[in-house]
A and B are shown apart, each in its own frame.
Chain A
């Protein structure tokens, strides 16, 4: 199975800050990586597919990059509504696997 490791597990940032979350795969997954946002008490929402492509309707302050084993999700100018837990997921092969999540809190 491909293990997905996210860091940090949590972070606290101020409104307007730039936030970066990393995700590492235990083996190469090309760009078969997605990012999801889960707000408290809500279902996950799809943010990014194919490592760097924004899903329809996702604000442009979100960006992502990477290929192979190392990936990043960046939020430029953090907003109050970005309070959430963010998950990466590889879909290169079964079993599909998720990172452990990064909880983003607002200072």
Chain B
């Protein structure tokens, strides 16, 4: 079955960086699109960026431009999201999600379990 398994919870200091991983199994990684979405406590879902592993280039939300880097390693079917310059406002659960890379637009079918990132001094 398809699984997206994310790395474990992190506690970070303000100003530091965090890198979250998302390993896919049961699906062809090279024909996937990987999104990163976050959810602050008690809030809704917020798109951060998307990568198509086969192409290697990512699209980022303007809000995170310059602070976020999304990469993918096809050899290990793993995507990564690194966020720098952390502040308390970045405390959230970070999710990866997967969509099939078919056609013009990509509808998500599977989600990772989420990774809680806590930013605290």
**B-binding residues in A (CB < 8 A):** 32, 34, 36, 38, 43-46, 49-50, 55, 87, 89, 91-92, 94-101
Contacts and interface: CB of A to CB of B under 8 A. Distances in A.
Contact of B111 (A46, A92, A94, A99): A46
A34 B95 contact: no
B109 A55 contact: yes
Interface of B: 35, 44-47, 50, 59, 61-62, 95, 97, 99, 105-114
A98 B111 contact: no
Contacts, number: 55
A61 to B, nearest CB: 20
26 contacts: A36-B108, A43-B95, A43-B111, A43-B112, A43-B114, A44-B45, A45-B111, A46-B108, A46-B109, A46-B110, A87-B45, A89-B108, A91-B99, A91-B107, A91-B108, A94-B50, A95-B59, A95-B61, A96-B35, A96-B47, A98-B44, A98-B45, A98-B46, A98-B47, A99-B44, A100-B44
